[in-house]
Amino acid sequence: MYKKIIVALSLEHGISERALEAASVLADDGAEILAVHIYEPLQGSVRFHLSEDDLRTARNKTESILKERVKNHPGVTPVLLEGHAGQTLAEYAEDVGADCIVIGSHKPGLRDFLLGSTAARIVRHAHCSVHVLR
């Protein structure tokens, strides 16, 4: 069905296994599957209190967790990007020519209706198909 699929992984939530399985079902034979986690930059005063070594250690730990999360999925390439989740993922999908994004979504709350969740932003801004898992 799809030739290049991005699976958006939030390493804090347990939906990653379901998302990776969904991507493999949606994939054509020989499709490329990219498991992407967006490492969001720390905001203002928080960043001020951390050293470059602390930031590098945190990023390296995140990269290790991502690799661990996809290790049982042969052919899935882990990708760690830095930026704001919704915007960065939509731009990356367009840059690499993805034809589908698989993303998990939680049950929306009031905050999501006012600000919009990451999944909602991806659905609105992605140039390709988006498969949302609940």
Dump pLDDT digits (tens) for 9-36: 988 776 788 899 999 999 999 999 999 9
pLDDT (0 to 100) of residue 117: 80
Segments forming the whole domain that contains residue 29: 2-105
Examine residue 129 and state whether it is found in any structural domain, yes or no.
Answer: no
Structure confidence at residue 50 as a pLDDT band (50, 70, 90): confident
Examine residue 120 and state whether it is found in any structural domain, yes or no.
Answer: no
Examine residue 20 and state whether it is found in any structural domain, yes or no.
Answer: yes
Examine residue 76 and state whether it is found in any structural domain, yes or no.
Answer: yes
Examine residue 87 and state whether it is found in any structural domain, yes or no.
Answer: yes
Examine residue 71 and state whether it is found in any structural domain, yes or no.
Answer: yes
Examine residue 116 and state whether it is found in any structural domain, yes or no.
Answer: no
Which CATH number characterizes residue 99's domain? 3.40.50.620
Q: Note the pTM of the prediction, 2 decimals.
A: 0.88
Examine residue 133 and state whether it is found in any structural domain, yes or no.
Answer: no
Alpha carbon distances (Å) from 129 to 28, 93, 97, 108? 15, 10, 12, 21
